[in-house]
Structure 1
Amino acid sequence: MGPIAWAAGLAVTCAAAVPSAAGEAVVATVHPVATDAALAAVRGGGNAVDAAVAAALMLGVVDGHNSGIGGGCFILIRSPDGQTVAIDGRERAPLRATGDMYLRDGRPQPELSRLGPLAAGVPGALAAYEEAIRQCGKLTLAEHLLAAARVAEEGFAIDRLYARKLERSAADLARFEGTRAVLLKPDGSPYGEGERLQQPDLARTYREVAEHGIDWFYRGPFARRVGRWMEEHGGVMRAEDFAAYRARRRRPVRSTYRGYTVLGFPPPSSGGVHVAQILNILEQFDLRSLYRTDRGRFYHVVAEAMKLAFADRAYWLGDPDFAPVPRGLIDKQYARRLAARIELDRVIHVSSHGRPPRRADDLFERHTTHIAAADSRGNWVAVTATINTAFGSKVIVPGTGVVLNNQMDDFAIAPGVPNAFGLLGAEANAVAPGKRPLSSMSPTIVLRQGRPVLTLGAAGGPKIITQVVLGILYHLDLEMPLARAAAAPRIHHQWRPDRLAVETTLDEDVVTILQQLGHRVHRTGSVGVMQAIGSADQGLVGVHDPRVPGKAARAVAGSGGRTAQRGSGF
């Protein structure tokens, strides 16, 4: 039997002009081809879980600079019977990994954790998708793989974003023979917008897994080929690392916010904990009144709450299998203490992490893409998947077609050394054999009186956490329609570096107030990309983020699928 997780839900990244869709099943992703694959799965008799997995596998073909089976994912699902499950498909450090593997002569070498054979962790996405389908789907993983394989073989037209990523990464992609052969033209130049990219090796890998099961990937030819290449090129990953991989079932983080129940993903995601922590802090303020009367201070308070939470993230968070995560981080009393530090007339100096209560009480008792899917049966799915930065480690082992992640950079490779996103970490997130690096992926489901009313997630590294918080504030606190909430201006503060990222769509007078209060403002075109599905009087409503091309659409379920189903209604 292959690597196991349990069951899950999926949330996809969306894009485009913020259209809404309501009906039997709704899906939102960052790419129209992926959304269409999800809708085809529904029409073929699948449910929201099938739709999410179909979209994720297709995104590995048409959006491969962000995610794929060479990376990892978190899946959160709410079933019709009220059960919520979190499947952890996060990458793991190879068993030969050491705490000093990114030091040379005692000095940190961050490039080693970002580019090349030492940058990749053991991929977990495929194991998580397989378990989600096995436990919760109505179709088979093979059906979804074969649909994506056809597009990989026939090719697809590269969009503007993909072309830009190729152009910016071309020099690094050219360093590796297998990558150069797949993602660059014979003359070494990158493909341009509108040109067709065919990936026959990836299609072959998908078809082999479809025919032989995921053991072909984790215990068979794929693992052996990657292990040999790594050994020949100075990497530490081996075939036995793949064989040892298991997706994990985790207990979701459950918190409350103004009468809503917020379900988030637990560590090694920092998202569930710190979305809850930021909301707990903000619950102490009348945000609706503040937004209406003093918008500058509304964003000021939100930014200060973000800053306090990210200071705690840097110290306390890591893989819960290796270090306890204090339950007190989501304690309401602790949030009140942090909220009391926020001043309306100036920024506060946050020199280090806080000290939550019950620090010994373990919460668990011992580039990226997001997919959102829901169906009229009551399945709500949020999936966030990634290979980390654009094209991950830049490594495609020849003959596989699979871009390997550079998720090892999400560890704290040395004290005080930031990762590619500027995040700091401590001993809780240090490199260790078999350990999962901390992540910001934040698939989230919100309930009202026990019924799902919102699922959302985002892409954007650490900005995922703050985008999810703002999505909840805009839609539930400020009662913006979901499409408007997806389009509204966003801000981001992660404690270090001490600066406030502000989208250029935020009113200039608001930015001026933030600067007067002491914020070091950095203007940016986009903080990230969010997708969401909500419930409305007319049914399910899905939106994709207008910051990028994408698609939210609905489909009426077909009658196909497996005949034997679980009694839960999946």
Structure 2
Amino acid sequence: MIRPNRARLAAATLPLLGLVTFGSLTTCLVLLASSARALAPADFTATGTQHAVATVQPIATNAAMEVLAEGGNAVDAAICAALTLGVVDNHNSGIGGGCLILILSPDGELIAIDGRETAPAAADHDMFLVDGKADPDLSQVGPLAVATPGALAAYAMALDTAGSKPLARLLQAGIAAARDGFPLDTNYANRLKGASEVLAKFPGSKAQLLDAEGKAHPAGYVLKQPDLAATYEGIAKDGLDYFYRGPLAERVGAWMAENGGVLTAKDFAGYEPKRREPIVSKYRGLTIVGFPPPSSGGIHIAQMLGMLEPFDLAAAFKKERHDGIHLVGEAMKLAFADRAYWLGDSDFVDVPRGLIDAAYLKTLSEKIDPKKATEAPAQGEPPQWRQDLFGRHTTHIAAADAQGWWVGITTTVNTGFGSKVIVPGTGLVLNNEMDDFSAQPGAPNAFGLVGMENNSVAPGKRPLSSMSPTIVLDLEGNPLMTVGAAGGPKIITQVVLAIIGVVDGGMTLAEAVAQPRWHHQWRPDVLSFEKQTPIIDVLPLAERGHAVGMLSSGGITQGIIREESGELTAVRDPRVPGKAAAR
């Protein structure tokens, strides 16, 4: 086989076309690009002394900053941003979906609020099987795909617990954007075009999001959503009752009954957000605060970092970057093997605390060979797994203020435009979170994730999530960073890459967010890279036995870091339009 000259490839990037195997050597078929799309830090950071916000949409960031200027805290600002994103970024998130909220208070209290959706009471274990096999169309599109939304209830709980502004005030920017309209950016327009054929099948979705012919509007078109404005206004006037026990729930329940769904008004009325105990772990002396089940993110971020602690990543990245990439990829693989088997809603199934036990992580770390890729045929077996138990197209909002409030909210409707259903008269994009359950053990979902019985469908159960709002505390226990991401299972690996980029790579948070990403989720057994990755970083990994592939999207990360000066720097991902702001 002819080996490329690595020196000539050092600056080349990596649109990977496929996998080719020559004997025992797995390598990648590449098409060399003449130049890389720069992701160097530029206009996607903002630094200030009072407060900071980062989101994927300038309208949402501006709304949050207005709340802060009025004397609101970071909790108020983050929730205002989330509600506004439910209008201007509703292909990713909204109150028709769910969220996970992680808050650090000025006195050091950690608050984790679970607004994950729940399966309807009429859901059953085999509801997505046809002739004994999982049918992904049923769990991804249409009425059966919809779980009971939880985001709005979680926002209200967060405000009651730690906010200072009324919910009605925080809805105003969203009301204005829905009523008066907003120009579609390129990202929204592209998502709309990609989903238009399916959206057109549902009258409510077609009427709100598409033109009279059922075609997608172009970038720059001013999209008005009067029904969504009316829903927000109803909530502002009547509170949660409007949504969970009033007109919205009744209208959705009636539509579901007429169209083969199982979600009912009673499911809405019975929904409750939950306070959870955050997962707290250590990495190189720093404290890592993550979200517990039904999120898999907190556990697996702790696992990956714990596995990597024995290795000198700083030296690896400095000497031969591919050495560090290999080590991190192997840790990702082992953590996702555990995810597939052990993780689920801890209110329904046993999720062992031993998954983050130091001795167990040492056994996993010892499986990592620094020189070659290793097989991970199955999950590990954590200690006391019977006794010691835990009680995707998405978006993340980061906010912090000088009072000491630090907030991460990850919110989602799952895949783009969720179930593609907008019930006429509501304006609400409904989630397709039922696809995050394991419809059948071993069958992959829309993100290619394999799950087992712990994540099977059951009435009232929360599907497993990759959402990973994370807060990092410094050596003295003071807030250092909040970071989170969108991108299905890539959420977990993005957060890990941001943390190790800062801690081990000596990067600024902006550089860590902008760096080309890699991802491994156990099944399929492929180490995947963004196309901006220099080929010189990838070819040695193929030679070590990794099957390598290309990430169609590396996901979207938002974060805030406290500088040595005490200033707050907000960072938004340069991969999509967005805005970081600070004062």
User: Shorter-chain TM-score: what band?
Assistant: over 0.9
Query: Per-residue deviation at 1:107?
Result: 2.3
Are positions 1:214 and 2:230 aligned together? no
Contact 2:527–2:546 (8 Å) recurs in 1: yes
CA distance in 2, matches of 1:80, 1:476: 24
Conservation of the 8 A alpha-carbon contact between 1:16 and 1:549: no
Aligned-residue offset at 1:334: 0.9
Q: Does 1:269 align with 2:298?
A: no
User: Which residue in the other structure is 2:482 paired with?
Assistant: 455
Partner of 1:9: none
State which drifts further: 80-89 or 523-532.
Answer: 523-532
Q: TM-score, normalised by structure 1?
A: 0.93
Query: What is the deviation of 1:18?
Result: 2.4
Deviation of residue 21 (structure 1)?
2.0
What residue number does 1:517 align with?
544
The answer as to whether partners of 2:97 and 2:412 remain within 8 angstroms in 1 is: yes
List aligned pairs for 1:464-479, cutoff 5 A: 464-479=491-506
Partner of 1:249: 275
Instruction: Give the one of 417, 421, 433 matched to 1:391.
Output: 417
User: Contact (CA 8 Å) 1:166, 1:191: kept in 2 or not?
Assistant: yes
Q: 1:547 to 1:153 in 2, by over 3 A?
A: same
2:210 is aligned with 1:184: yes
Report runs of 4+ in structure 1 exceeding 3 Å deviation.
none
- CA-to-aligned-CA distance 1:27-83 (integer Å, 9 cap, x gap): 000011110010011112210001100100010111000000000000000000110
Q: Give me the whole-angstrom Cα distance separating, in 2, the residues matched to 1:126 and 1:313.
A: 28
Look up the SS of the partner of 1:118 in the other structure: helix
* 311, 318, 323: which one aligns with 2:337: 311
Could you tell me how far 1:106 is from its partner in structure 2? 2.0
How far residue 482 of structure 1 moved from its aligned partner, in angstroms, is: 1.4
Aligned counterparts of 1:440 and 1:484: Cα–Cα separation in 2? 23
Q: What count of residue pairs does the alignment treat as equivalent?
A: 540
2:347 match = 321
CA contact (8 A) 2:47 2:567 kept: no
Letter in 1 for 2:549: H
The secondary structure found in structure 2 opposite 1:341 is: coil
State the partner residue of 1:497: 524
Distance (Å, rounded) in 2 between the aligned partners of 1:363 and 1:532: 31
Equivalent AA in structure 2 for residue 133 of structure 1: L
**Which residue, out of 166, 173, 176, partners 1:150?**
176
C-alpha distance in 2 between matches for 1:410 and 1:249: 21
Cα deviation for residue 523 of structure 1 reads 2.3
- The reply to whether residue 118 of structure 1 matches residue 126 of structure 2 is no
In structure 1, runs of 5+ residues without a counterpart are 1-14, 556-570
How is 1:127-206 mapped onto 2 (pairs within 5 angstroms)?
A: 127-206=153-232
- What does residue 566 of structure 1 align with? none
- Quote the sequence identity (%): 56
Shift of 1:525: 5.7
Q: Please, which moves more after superposition, 473-482 or 451-460?
A: 473-482
How far, CA to CA, are the matches of 2:361 and 2:530 in structure 1? 27
- The alpha-carbon deviation at position 554 of structure 1 amounts to 1.4
Kept in 2, the 8 Å contact 1:446–1:452? The answer is yes
**1:73-131 alpha-carbon deviations (Å, 9 max, x no partner):** 00000000110010000000000000011112222211100000000000000000111
Q: 2:471 aligns with which of 432, 436, 445?
A: 445
Residues 1:340 and 2:386 aligned together:
no
1:431 aligns with 2:461: no
State the partner residue of 1:286. 312
Preserved CA contact (<8 Å) 1:18 1:486: no
> Are the aligned partners of 2:94 and 2:151 in contact in 1 as well (CA < 8 Å)?
yes
C-alpha RMSD of the superposition: 1.1
How many Å separate the matches in 2 of 1:550 and 1:16? Answer: 13
Q: Which amino acid aligns with 1:533?
A: I
Question: What is residue 92 of structure 2 aligned with on the other side?
Answer: 66
Match of 1:93 in 2: 119
Q: Which amino acid aligns with 2:493?
A: T
1:543 aligns with 2:568: no
Q: Secondary structure at the match of 1:175?
A: coil
What's the TM-score once normalised by structure 2's chain length? 0.91
Instruction: Write the deviation string for residues 153-210 of structure 1: whole angstroms up to 9, x where unpaired.
Output: 0000000011111111011000101111000011211111001100000000000000
2:28 aligned partner: none
Q: Where does residue 20 of structure 2 map in the other structure? A: none
Which range is displaced more, 100-109 or 483-492?
A: 100-109
